[in-house]
Amino acid sequence: MPEALKSKPRHMYSIKLKRSLYGLKQSGRMWYNRLSEYLIKKGFCHNQISPCLFIKRTESGFVIIAVYVDDLNIIGSPEEIRQAADYLKSEFEMKDLGTTKYCLGLQFEHTKGGIFIHQSNYIEKVLKRFHMNNAHPLSTPMVVRSLDVNKDPFRPPTHNNEILGPEVPYLSAIGALMYLANNTRPDIAFSVNLLARYSSTPTKRHWNGVKHILRYLRGTSDMGLYFERHENAKATNLVGYSDAGYLSDPHKAISQSGYVFMYGGTAISWRSTKQTLVATSSNHAELIALYEAGRECVWLRSLIHYVCESCGLEPIEKSPTVIYEDNTACIA
């Protein structure tokens, strides 16, 4: 600190920074601008569809750099990966960890037939954190709900129910489960979404529902997503599935939307959420869900076409993507 400022009261002076420091609100954006400017100078391209995906096509192949803040995953042939790493090392301080085996809580197992992505280590940490590592495992992520709204284990709290205090880590558990549901475990997406609605007023019933999911995870900690290697590009077409649960929340007369998109036989995008509109019929609820699935489909198709075109790969078929729907009125 300059000597002239030490004699003044602390609230009467300020210091202008010459560069952004770690932790400032603008640091993330300035780092992204710095990195993208350098990669574009080296021949990489990106667009608004996925601004954190940088692609460079060369005579011998292609290289893709996926950016998450300061964590970078490089995809391509060994020679292209080495050159991209050299580019980055020449400009930034970088630690090369080799083949990606662990990133952002996700584990990657590479085999001759494909890549298996799971979060078994993360699940074990979550179970220990909430003292459920020795609990009896269960085969389903939630209990069967009663048709009687007064007996529904997930009904809203009443004046007779005691709201759990901060000593019960309900919000922490919901956050941990949401991270799993959003990354590698679509099978718990619905139950986590349902219990997250009571984050402000959880009761013992809802906490038991959280522990039920944790018991289910203990018995299925080795489950994940397996992306199989396909020699034929036609085997990797995009396929979608859409569904809705009419009045799945009978207490507020709200329905549930859900969809999943498969690429090469593996889920790449999914969602389970409460609808914001009151559906007047089952086909109305299905139309709302299908609309949300259609929006996601447009973005996924744009992303896949962009990656294939930038890498010089065979794109997916120009024909419309099939989204399967089980409601006749909605299909008509």
Assess if residue 283 is contained within a domain.
yes
**Number of Cβ within a 10 Å radius of residue 71:** 11
Same domain? For 60 and 125 the reply is: no
pTM as predicted: 0.87
What are the tens digits of pLDDT across the range 89-115?
A: 999 999 988 889 999 999 999 999 999
- Specify whether 143 is located in the same domain as 185: yes
Last residue of a domain, one of 154, 188, 219: 219
Strands of the chain (E only): list them.
53-57, 62-68, 71-76, 102-103, 106-111, 114-118, 224-228, 238-249, 254-263, 266-274, 322-324
Count of domains observed in the chain: 3
* Shared-domain flag, residues 260 and 298: yes
Q: What is the pLDDT of residue 317?
A: 63
Q: Which of 293, 234, 287 is nearest to 261 (CA)?
A: 293
Closest C-alpha among 287, 253, 293 to residue 272 = 293
Task: With respect to residue 4, please indicate whether it lies within any of the assigned structural domains.
Answer: no
Same-domain status, 74 and 136: no
Residue 315 has pLDDT above 70, yes or no: no
Flag whether 112 is in a domain.
Answer: no
Q: Is 156 helix (H, G, I), strand (E, B) or coil?
A: coil
In terms of residue numbers, what domain contains 214?
118-219
d(CA 65, CA 84): 8
Do 247 and 196 lie in one domain? The reply is no
Instruction: Please determine, for residue 235, whether its predicted confidence score (pLDDT) is greater than 70.
Output: no
In the three-class reduction of DSSP (H, G, I as helix; E, B as strand; rest coil), residue 110 is classed as strand
> Is the same domain home to 186 and 123?
yes
**Is 22 inside any structural domain?**
no
The predicted model gives 103-129 an average pLDDT of: 95
Q: Grade residue 159 by pLDDT with cuts at 50, 70 and 90.
A: confident
In a domain, 23, yes or no: no
| Amino acid code (one letter) for 72 | L
Query: Same structural domain for residues 298 and 321?
Result: yes
Cα separation, 194 vs 212, whole angstroms: 13
289: exposed, middle or buried (Cβ count in 10 Å: 0-12, 13-18, 19+) = buried
Contacts (Cβ under 8 Å, ≥6 apart) of 317: 234, 237
- 18-70 pLDDT per residue, tens: 888 888 888 989 999 999 999 999 999 988 889 999 999 988 889 999 999 88
Distance CA 309, CA 64 (A): 13
Q: Are strands 102-103 and 71-76 parallel, antiparallel or unpaired?
A: unpaired
Task: Tell me if 14 is assigned to some domain.
Answer: no
